[in-house]
Chains A and B, each alone.
Chain A
Amino acid sequence: MGGETHTIRREGEVPEFWRKDNRLGGTNKPYKVNVVVSDQFSTGLKVLVVDDDVTRLRILEQMLRYHVTTCSQATIALNILREKKDCFDIVLSDARVPGMIDYKLLEHVGLETDLPIIMMSADGRTGAFVRIEALKNIWQYVVRKITL
């Protein structure tokens, strides 16, 4: 029980990335998680999120809080990336996005750009839902990698 703290420590800064309290049925007001992003991150990181589920897309948009562009079709995503090559730092995509079969988007992005791409779901059997906790862990890892 109790709080969970994930922090990214950078020189001269103590940013709190997120904190989660595991209490259930607690206060009337939801417990606020401050996704405090250091200035360097918020100005520097531009994300293209590709997912055909509008609910998930909105959740990710809220979650990431960076400069986020959302997109529900893989072909559109690819066009965006081709037109605006330098406008994104990272691509976040659901593995099953309409317009492409499975990992084609990953393949194209890999071949045509040097953008890191995170695939959010595995195959059909596990279910393509956003596991925010898992995503946060991945994100922390990615942000570390990008900024190191």
Chain B
Amino acid sequence: MERNPLQRQVAYMRRSLFDQGYLDEQFVQLEDLQDDANPNFVEEIVTLFYTDSARLIHNIEQALESRPLDFIRLDDYMHQFKGSSSSIGAKKVKNECTQFREHCSARSAEGCVRTFQQVKQEHTILRRKLETYFQLARQAGLAN
């Protein structure tokens, strides 16, 4: 299949996201669910996730401010957040979530605070990459 340069770029970017560990197999599953009736399903799901996860992040941030830390509550929030992240195939985010939960188990306040920064960072990085990816994909589609 002949591809124009933009399409090649999109394919390359997509490949990179997987190769660099930002996305896992779950993302492919989402792509598989996309169809003519829902041609932007993947982007819809990602947007939904980022809108919803803002709430969870806020909850965790608030919980991290209370003293003493309620590790059970923190773990519960992170469990939800991890589950949600996994649904879109956010591999690095998911891994950071696991780290966070380990610190909850160990009742390490410092560990929780530190890893939560990493969770947020990965969360933001992925959003930017996916925004760029979807934008490029749209341009490539239009250029057809």
* Contact surface of A with B, Cβ cutoff 8 Å: 20, 24-28, 30-33, 52-56, 58-59, 62-63, 96, 121, 124, 127-133
Q: A32-B35, A59-B45, A129-B82 are in contact. List 20 more A-B contacts (CB 8 A).
A: A20-B32, A25-B18, A27-B1, A28-B137, A31-B32, A33-B32, A52-B80, A53-B80, A53-B87, A54-B52, A55-B49, A56-B83, A58-B44, A62-B41, A124-B75, A127-B82, A129-B85, A129-B87, A130-B86, A133-B25
- Asked if A55 contacts B48 (CB within 8 A), the reply is yes
Decide if A56 touches B33 in the complex (CB within 8 Å). no
Asked whether any CB of chain A lies closer than 8 Å to the CB of B128, the reply is: no
User: Which size bracket describes the interface of B in this complex?
Assistant: 35 or more
Which of B28, B45, B82 gathers the greatest number of chain A CB atoms within 10 Å? B28
Given contacts A25-B14, A132-B26, contact A55 B84 (CB under 8 A): yes
Chain B residues with CB below 8 A from A33, complex form: 32-33
Please report the C-alpha to C-alpha distance between residue A61 and residue B54 in the assembled complex, in whole angstroms. 22
Give the one of B7, B30, B33, B86 with max A CB within 10 A.
B33
- Collect the chain A residues with CB atoms within 8 Å of residue B83's CB: 53, 56, 121, 127-129
A59-B87 contact, Cβ under 8 Å, with A28-B7, A30-B32, A32-B32: yes
CA distance A27 to B144 in the complex (A): 14
